[in-house]
Amino acid sequence: MSDDFSPKNFLSDSTPARISVGRAGTRPKTDAWLRFRADHALARDAILSELRDDFVEDFVKAKGYPFIKTIVESKEEFIQFPPKGKVVSAQTLLDVKKMCPADIDVQIVVSDGLSARAVEKNISDLLPMIEDGLNLHKISFGLPIFVRYARVAVGDQLGFALNAKLVVNLIGERPGLSSSEGLSAYITFHPSPQTISSDRTVVSNIHDRGTPPVEAGAYIVKLIKTILERKVSGVQLQKLS
């Protein structure tokens, strides 16, 4: 068997994970160390990234989606004080109620989270797929809301305020060393101030090298339909599966 078809090469080429990188004495090889440093830099940049002005203007505002922020005032504050990224102000909540329809089946929230790049990279393919799927199944949904400096739980506050049966928070994942552009979908039935992490169903690793956005969108719609039928999400949904 030639080196090109060795099990080692096949395994290395099939995953972005660091396997079979070898070493030189007690140290990593130079090329492996440089790749690690480059990927680590990308991950750090993703965490510090913010939604670009042109993306906000050309995609969010151009489509008429509300664009709000949490009570956080800066990226540094967002990183240092996670609870602040879980809530919006009372005035922002009033504005949302004026802009968005209430009493719907699904409220979609798009949050920058820990990788604004993930939102910019994936949402233009993911969001239309979800909207088209919900329309196909005659599931009502409100106007998607984009949120800056947002954590997962902000979706619970917005969904509860709009009396949505279910909220989907599409949020930038904490970047790893193999991907800085991964998105996750947190789906919660009957979101409320009492919602806890185990109440949420999660679809993660939405990106080109994970689950592609279009495929993920179809799967998220299928999950939404199931959750609405069974009236539970998270751990309780797993118990029924």
pLDDT on residue 20: 67
Q: Would 33 be classed as within a structural domain?
A: no
pLDDT on residue 41: 64
Report which residue type is found at 49. Answer: S
Q: Would 75 be classed as within a structural domain?
A: yes
Q: Would 64 be classed as within a structural domain?
A: yes
Where the chain has pLDDT below 50, the residues are 1-2
* Host domain of residue 209: 53-240
With beta carbons less than 8 A apart as the criterion, state whether 72 and 78 touch: yes
pLDDT on residue 90: 96
pLDDT on residue 143: 96
User: Within 10 Å of residue 123's Cβ, how many Cβ atoms?
Assistant: 22
The answer, as to whether pTM is greater than 0.95, is no
Compute the distance between CA of residue 145 and CA of residue 165 in angstroms, rounded to an integer. 16
Q: Would 89 be classed as within a structural domain?
A: yes
Compute the distance between CA of residue 116 and CA of residue 46 in angstroms, rounded to an integer. 7
**CA of 72: how far to CAs of 78, 88, 97, 142, 153, in Å?**
6, 8, 20, 25, 14
Compute the distance between CA of residue 241 and CA of residue 239 in angstroms, rounded to an integer. 6
Report which residue type is found at 174. Answer: R
pLDDT on residue 40: 62
pLDDT on residue 111: 95
Q: Would 9 be classed as within a structural domain?
A: no
Compute the distance between CA of residue 120 and CA of residue 65 in angstroms, rounded to an integer. 15
With beta carbons less than 8 A apart as the criterion, state whether 169 and 30 touch: no
Count of structural domains, the chain: 1
Q: Would 22 be classed as within a structural domain?
A: no
pLDDT on residue 61: 93
Q: Would 19 be classed as within a structural domain?
A: no
pLDDT tens for 115-143 read: 888 999 999 999 999 999 999 999 999 99
Between strands 183-189 and 200-206, the pairing is antiparallel
CATH code at position 81: 3.40.50.11240
At residue 228's C-alpha, the angle toward residues 109 and 96, to 5°, is: 30
Q: Would 126 be classed as within a structural domain?
A: yes
Say what the alpha-carbon torsion angle 92, 98, 101, 105 is, to the nearest 10 degrees.
30
pLDDT on residue 174: 73
